[in-house]
Structure 1
Amino acid sequence: MKALLPTGNPAEMVVLGDAEEPRPGPGQALVKVEAFSLNRGEVFRLHGAPRPDRRPGKDIAGLVVQAAADGTGPSAGQRVVGHPPGGGWAEYAAVDTDRLAVLPEGVSAIRAAALPLAGLTALRLLRTAGCVSGHPLLLTGASGGVGHYVTELAVGAGAQVTAVTATPERGKRLAEFGARVIHHLDDATGPFHTVMESVGGESTARALALLRPRGELIWFGQASREPAALNFFDFFRGPRSATVRHFHYEHFDEPYAADLAALVRLVAEGRLHPEIGRLTDWRSTATALNDLRDRRIAGNAVLTIGQ
């Protein structure tokens, strides 16, 4: 089968080549991939030396061509969205059935492919934050895929969202969702009940200072690639009894299938709208990866196979 293979070259991170078709285990379905999306975290992992046993690809959608031998999960012929740990940028992928959800009518593979990592992160971030209805919430680094989903879901849940984006253009859609969009933390009007911080560097300390007493900062990324440093003397002079929590969407006991099903249901009901900033054929993946790395794509980048 054809698959995208890592090169170790930052200028052209992947090339289209040949790979062995996966052989599903008892609890895995074989999926014919129709579309997949890219994530910035995958971009930076591709900068290292390539490993033949680790091909990229976490977000896919397509058709089950072979159901799991143990009888779990979707049947052959069903359309699905999946979140394998890797290997999804290929014509076929073997995916654990607890990482798959069946697509309802009206949700295309293209829209579904933009959901898994970003959508799961957003859904679980809000679950971690607890009830946000009526509360002021600050989201930094808001113009990527996660930011779009967090903003729409949080506004839909009744939160008063302030979203920080680099430019007005990148924040336009967030404003349409109902967020107040700013472009620098100095323009944020606190205090905030919850801060979701994903930039790192100086942003983390500045965002922490905007919390109300007993507020919570949830740290879930470092998009600037700059380490965050907190001066604890400043911390003590800041919001009383504030909490800083590290978050990663994988640190949950629940399997992905149920949350993937929740995401596609929200899309089908018109309550969640995948923002696709780039849609192209998978032969253009190397270019899309460079543009995603350099922030020339707002929202999600989706690549199609054989269309």
Structure 2
Amino acid sequence: MKAMTATGRTGRSEPSVELAAVDQPQPRPNEALVKVEAYSVNRGETFQLEAPRPDWRPGKDVAGLVVQAAADGSGPAVGTRVVGHPPQGGWAEYVAVPTDSLAELTDEVSAVTAAALPLAGLTALRLLRVTASAGGRRVLITGASGGVGHYFVELAAAAGLEITAVSSSPERGARLLELGAVRVVRTIDDAEGPFDVVLESTGGPNLPVALAKVARRGTLIWFGQASRQPVTLDFFDFFAGPESAAIRHFHYADSDTTYGQDLRTLVRLVAAGRLHPEIGLVADWSGTADVLTRLRDRGVRGNAVLTIA
């Protein structure tokens, strides 16, 4: 079969992936073999491609058709349309996916729409749960222009939270307002706190500024490092800041629910018209390298989806 493989070249003028012939995956007993119709690429994957592991192939967001059911009897039957979140290898004609990382698609949800759900949608849904458990009502989210930000704003607004989103783009900011944000600001400095919960995803110099926006007994949840700049925190400033505030690290994989369970929730919300994946670009998978460059340079609003004819 054919698959996108990492070239190991890191120059911006060169493609970071190329189409190559590889062995078709042999599913484990708890895995189904999926014929991929569409996959989504994420900005974080562009960073992984700069120094790829020898045994790694990219791809964690896929939608397609089950062509071989799991040998242990779990999961969907052959012929079922699914969305999945494999650990790797999804940018390919076929991928083996654990059955607890699959969800069946309804007729209302296309493969292109579904492919945009897994990583960004799972992150947003699980962030919302953590935000709720932290007692968040007034919430600030940085880096809100990407896929996670769009999903989170719509989900959180529907849950009754008051969301302030940080977006440097007026166009993207307008969309966040349509999705339910109470206000959109260009920089963290412009955000009028304090906030019960601050969701910080950019790192660098922005995190200390975001921390200063936290309310008494509030929480800063650190879930990304988009700027790729180191963070320096002066804890003397922290102690002099919001009383009894907390800093919490978040990783989307740390959850009591399986990917499959949460993917079913996301599919149900999309089918009901209560969640709207923000897909900024759809292209044939032969253009994956170019799409990765655009994504790395923030040239795509929301998600980018590649289709396999």
What is the TM-score normalised by the length of structure 2? 0.96
Distance across 2 between alignment mates of 1:300 and 1:114:
6
Q: Which moved more, 1:261-270 or 1:247-256?
A: 247-256
1:173 Cα offset (Å):
1.1
Q: Which moved more, 1:285-294 or 1:4-13?
A: 4-13
1:132 Cα offset (Å):
8.2
Of residues 238, 247, 253 in structure 2, which corresponds to 1:250?
A: 253
Contact 2:136–2:196 (Cα < 8 Å) also in 1? no
Distance across 2 between alignment mates of 1:201 and 1:47:
20
1:50 Cα offset (Å):
5.2
Distance across 1 between alignment mates of 2:45 and 2:147:
14
Question: Structure 1 pair 50/135, CA: closer, same or farther in 2 (3 Å)?
Answer: closer
Distance across 2 between alignment mates of 1:135 and 1:126:
11
Distance across 2 between alignment mates of 1:177 and 1:29:
35
Gaps of 5+ in 1: none
1:178 Cα offset (Å):
2.1
Distance across 2 between alignment mates of 1:159 and 1:56:
35
Please state whether the residue corresponding to 2:288 is helix, strand or coil.
helix
> Which residue is equivalent to 1:182?
185
Please state whether the residue corresponding to 2:231 is helix, strand or coil.
coil
Distance across 2 between alignment mates of 1:142 and 1:45:
22
Distance across 2 between alignment mates of 1:294 and 1:164:
18
1:102 Cα offset (Å):
0.3
Matched, 1:66 2:63: no
Matched, 1:29 2:27: no
Matched, 1:5 2:5: yes
1:239-285 per-residue CA deviation (whole Å, 9 max, x = no partner) reads 10001000001112322110010011010111110000110000000
Q: How many equivalent pairs are there?
A: 305
> Which residue is equivalent to 1:166?
168
Of residues 231, 234, 238 in structure 1, which corresponds to 2:237?
A: 234
> Which residue is equivalent to 1:93?
95
Distance across 2 between alignment mates of 1:49 and 1:125:
28
Quote the RMSD (CA, aligned, Å): 1.2
1:7-29 per-residue CA deviation (whole Å, 9 max, x = no partner) reads 01233110111111111111110
Matched, 1:284 2:287: yes
Code of the residue aligned with 1:70 in structure 2: it is D
Aligned ranges for residues 96-107 of structure 1 at < 5 Å?
Answer: 96-107=98-109
> Which residue is equivalent to 1:108?
110
Code of the residue aligned with 1:167 in structure 2: it is S
1:207-233 per-residue CA deviation (whole Å, 9 max, x = no partner) reads 110111000100000100011111111
Question: Structure 1 pair 253/131, CA: closer, same or farther in 2 (3 Å)?
Answer: closer
Gaps of 5+ in 2: none
1:155 Cα offset (Å):
0.6
1:36 Cα offset (Å):
0.2
Distance across 1 between alignment mates of 2:276 and 2:133:
22
Code of the residue aligned with 1:111 in structure 2: it is T
Which aligned segments of 4 or more residues in structure 1 are displaced greater than 2 angstroms? 131-134
Contact 1:7–1:50 (Cα < 8 Å) also in 2? no
Distance across 2 between alignment mates of 1:222 and 1:28:
32
Distance across 1 between alignment mates of 2:9 and 2:304:
20
Of residues 49, 54, 57 in structure 2, which corresponds to 1:55?
A: 57
Distance across 1 between alignment mates of 2:29 and 2:202:
41
Of residues 180, 203, 206 in structure 2, which corresponds to 1:203?
A: 206
Contact 1:132–1:157 (Cα < 8 Å) also in 2? no
> Which residue is equivalent to 2:152?
150
> Which residue is equivalent to 1:140?
142
Code of the residue aligned with 2:74 in structure 1: it is T
Contact 2:134–2:219 (Cα < 8 Å) also in 1? no
Code of the residue aligned with 2:302 in structure 1: it is G
1:71-125 per-residue CA deviation (whole Å, 9 max, x = no partner) reads 1000100000000000000000011101100001210000000000000100111
> Which residue is equivalent to 2:304?
301
> Which residue is equivalent to 1:217?
220
